[in-house]
Amino acid sequence: MAKTYGVGVIGVGGIANTHFPGWNESPYTELVALSDTVPETLERVGGAQGVTRLYEKAKDLINDPNVDIVDICTPNAFHTPLAVAALQAGKHVICEKPLAPTPADIRKMIKARDESGKLLMTAQHFRFQDRSRALKAEVDRGLLGEVYHARSWMLRRCLTPLRPGFYLKELSNGGPCIDIGVHILDLTLWMMGNPAPATVSGVTTNRLTKQPGAFSMWGGTIPAEHDVEEMAAAFVRFESGATLMLEVSWQLHHDTMGEDMQMWLYGDKAGVHWPSNVSVTAINETQQLTRTELQKAQGREPHAEECMVFADCVANGKPSPVPAEQSLQVIGILNALYQSAEKGKEVAVRL
């Protein structure tokens, strides 16, 4: 079968490397162009991937007629202008998380998407993990009954990213909420069926970061300019009456050396834990407790998988597997968390 869709990747630093295998393996796509503002990076990655259409200016890649799908892997601040330009040029767009750091930016992307009639997807790779998909299938089949409460957290102990794009508010719009909170929050909302959020009560702090000598295991002392939160917690109410407790951190005296990322979903029939996929119930008729490990499918590496699924949707006229409206919910909740922390009271979520 001819590979009918040319893919151009903008920003070929770290995460882009996890997307290339998906574009290469998909029966529908071919990696045809790359863009990066750093010429050495562009040449090196172009050589490694065997791609010769190399552009230092992203707009040249966007306007290349060989490119049908634009894959945005730049720092967050460039997601909106690049996605809007690509959609306006008639290209389908997959964009790394967070889709954009503010609800206003995501609304601009949705408008451009609707005017173009093309697909826009957020690269939320945790949805494409084998165990996430196995669990989602069970939840959708009704395993839990009505999910009325969830708890989720993504906690790092001493792992603040030391690049300004992460720790300066003017570049990132936030700390671990925007960096890793989007992962666990997106996954939790998706499992819950993306209920409409109503209100958020949240707190943030950066008290450990501001202690003398505060450091990150990723490279030493945390710069004094760091001006985002190091930790946040929130209680979210949904219009359905369901609730969620969320915790995220880069710095916290929590017993983990890497990342402690977990979720509990509680329904009126059963509860389930991710990533163990252990489900628990109480059977009233026999007054017994049950504990079952749900089957975990064997899947592809999730970043590659998300690209292959997007290619399939583009080629076969299916809707976006991670629609921008769902990313708007995620960023809307995190934005409300920040407002609530500042005001010291519960606030409404405005999308």
DSSP assignment of 185-197 = HHHHHHHHT-PPE
Select 279 or 320, whichever has its Cβ closest to ligand NAD.
Answer: 320
Q: Which long-range contacts (CB under 8 A, 24 or more apart) does 85-91 make?
A: 85/58, 85/59, 86/62, 87/112, 87/113, 87/115, 87/116, 87/118, 87/120, 88/112, 88/115, 88/116, 89/62, 89/63, 90/116, 90/118, 91/8, 91/62, 91/67, 91/118
Task: Name the minimum Å distance from CB 8 to ligand NAD.
Answer: 11
Q: Helix 324-343 vs helix 182-192: angle between axes, to the nearest 10 degrees?
A: 120
Under the binding rule (CB under 6 A), the answer on residue 13 touching ligand NAD is yes
Under the binding rule (CB under 6 A), the answer on residue 125 touching ligand NAD is yes
Task: Name the minimum Å distance from CB 92 to ligand NAD.
Answer: 18
Under the binding rule (CB under 6 A), the answer on residue 73 touching ligand NAD is yes
Under the binding rule (CB under 6 A), the answer on residue 75 touching ligand NAD is yes
Task: Name the minimum Å distance from CB 315 to ligand NAD.
Answer: 23
Identify the residue whose tokens are 């109480």: 282
Under the binding rule (CB under 6 A), the answer on residue 11 touching ligand NAD is yes
Select 12 or 336, whichever has its Cβ closest to ligand NAD.
Answer: 12
Under the binding rule (CB under 6 A), the answer on residue 26 touching ligand NAD is no
* CA–CA–CA angle 87, 92, 98 (5° rounding): 80
Question: Considering only residues 53-72, where is the footprint of ligand NAD by CB under 6 A?
Answer: 58
Under the binding rule (CB under 6 A), the answer on residue 219 touching ligand NAD is no
Select 121 or 272, whichever has its Cβ closest to ligand NAD.
Answer: 121
Cis before 98? omega within 30: yes
Residues binding ligand NAD (CB under 6 A): 10-15, 35-38, 41, 58, 73-76, 78, 96-97, 123, 125
